[in-house]
Amino acid sequence: MSANYMVKVKNYLSSMPSLPTTVTKVLEICNNPRTSPIDLDKVISLDPVLMGKVLKLINSAYYSMQNQVTSLVRAIIMLGVNTVKNLALSTAILDKMVDKNGFRALNMEGFWRHSLCVGVVSKLIARKRMVDSTRLDEYFAAGLLHDIGKIPLNNILSEEYLQAMGLADRERIPLYMAEKRVLNLDHAETGAMIAEVWKLDKPLSDAISLHHACDSYNGSNKELVFTVAVADYYANRERIGFSGSVHPDKVPPEMFDFLGIEKAWLEEIDDLVNKEIEKASIFLKLKTGA
């Protein structure tokens, strides 16, 4: 039976629409170290929807600009190439995966609030650690998208997914362990398949596929993967949104030591997190240019 679940998931992923051509081109341009804002302007200006998203984001509470920005090239300069890349990618993925009618086992609003929380806390941890400001939105995007592997499981295997959530609750185990027992497949593995289909870059792919495998992870994106894992734990522990996991893995002290943050610090940021989630909700509102 479990092999049949894998086939269903693979069929679902193979039928997913590809990322828009403009977004693919933006990713290609941004991966060139010699890219300039003018290069991005030339591509984005040909896509009115994406252009509108960039301008809405720069003028949103998320960035708290004093004066309205109306020039695309100025917006790109102010946001930075990496942020534009992550905006384009995040909103494109949300366009493809946010479907109210598809959410059957998980509650859509709860799921996306959890995802926003993990994105926000990942960014706050990165800022606390004084990560280069040009990379902060990479941390946000990784947190926002870390659980996208749950969406196919939730949409096409909803009855079995409810069983997995029930098992996790009854036995007080993390959801990914219950998924593995019920489906012989967990959301991190499904996330890895999505990352492969859409050719996501290695840092984002690692955060999506390995945030529950920190003990064995020793790759080049350790700081990002560990940060997302800690942020995920925080969101589940504080019950901000709902990811289906009521009993998450505890974060080992070594992970806090590696990141150089105090566990106590996580207990002092609740008000800030809630404010930042409201600001970051612009990413969901940007879906399909709405």
Arithmetic mean of pLDDT, 61-75 = 90
Which residues have C-beta within 8 Å of that of residue 251, sequence separation ≥ 6?
229, 230, 233, 263
pLDDT at position 76: 92
- CA dist 129 and 137 (Å) reads 14
What percent of the chain stands above pLDDT 70? 96
Residue that is written with structure tokens 């693979």 in the block: 10
- The verdict on residue 50 lying in a domain is no
pLDDT at position 104: 72
pLDDT at position 3: 61
CA angle 135, 226, 274 (to 5 degrees): 70
pLDDT at position 155: 85
- The verdict on residue 234 lying in a domain is yes
- CA dist 155 and 121 (Å) reads 27
How many C-beta atoms lie closer than 10 Å to residue 4's C-beta?
9
What is the torsion angle, in degrees rounded to the nearest 10, for the CA atoms of residue 110, residue 138, residue 215 and residue 116?
-10
Number of domains composing the chain: 1
pLDDT at position 289: 47
> Predicted confidence band at 287 (pLDDT cuts at 50, 70, 90)?
low
- The verdict on residue 46 lying in a domain is no
- The verdict on residue 179 lying in a domain is yes
Of 103, 244, 249, which is closest to residue 179 (Cα–Cα)? 244
> Predicted confidence band at 63 (pLDDT cuts at 50, 70, 90)?
confident
- The verdict on residue 260 lying in a domain is yes
pLDDT at 2 over 60: no
Q: Which amino acid is at 44?
A: I
Across the chain, what does the average pLDDT equal? 90
pLDDT at 100 over 80: no
> Predicted confidence band at 108 (pLDDT cuts at 50, 70, 90)?
confident
255-272, pLDDT tens digit by residue?
999 999 998 999 899 999
- CA separation (Å) from 112 to 96, 99, 226? 14, 11, 21
| Cα Rg of the chain, angstroms | 18
Q: Which residue has the higher pLDDT, 99 or 157?
A: 157
- CA dist 90 and 25 (Å) reads 15
> Predicted confidence band at 1 (pLDDT cuts at 50, 70, 90)?
very low
- The verdict on residue 225 lying in a domain is yes
Question: 137: domain CATH number?
Answer: 1.10.3210.10
pLDDT at 277 over 80: yes
Contact 88, 50 (CB under 8 A): yes
21-60, pLDDT tens digit by residue?
999 999 899 888 888 899 999 999 999 988 998 999 899 9
Which residues have C-beta within 8 Å of that of residue 96, sequence separation ≥ 6?
16, 17, 19
Domain that includes residue 199, residue range: 2-16+101-289
- The verdict on residue 56 lying in a domain is no
Q: Which residue has the higher pLDDT, 177 or 15?
A: 177
What percent of the chain stands above pLDDT 90? 60
pLDDT at position 66: 83
Can you give the three-state secondary structure of the chain, one letter per residue?
A: CHHHHHHHHHHHHHCCCCCCHHHHHHHHHHCCCCCCHHHHHHHHCCCHHHHHHHHHHHCCCCCCCCCCCCCHHHHHHHHCHHHHHHHHHHHHHHHHHCCHHHCCCCCHHHHHHHHHHHHHHHHHHHHHCCCCHHHHHHHHHHHHHCCCCHHHHHHHCHHHHHHHHHHHHHHCCCHHHHHHHHHCCCHHHHHHHHHHHCCCCHHHHHHHHHCCCHHHCCCCCHHHHHHHHHHHHHHHHCCCCCCCCCCCCCCCHHHHHHHCCCHHHHCCCHHHHHHHHHHHCHHHHCHHHC
Q: Which amino acid is at 199?
A: K
> Predicted confidence band at 4 (pLDDT cuts at 50, 70, 90)?
confident
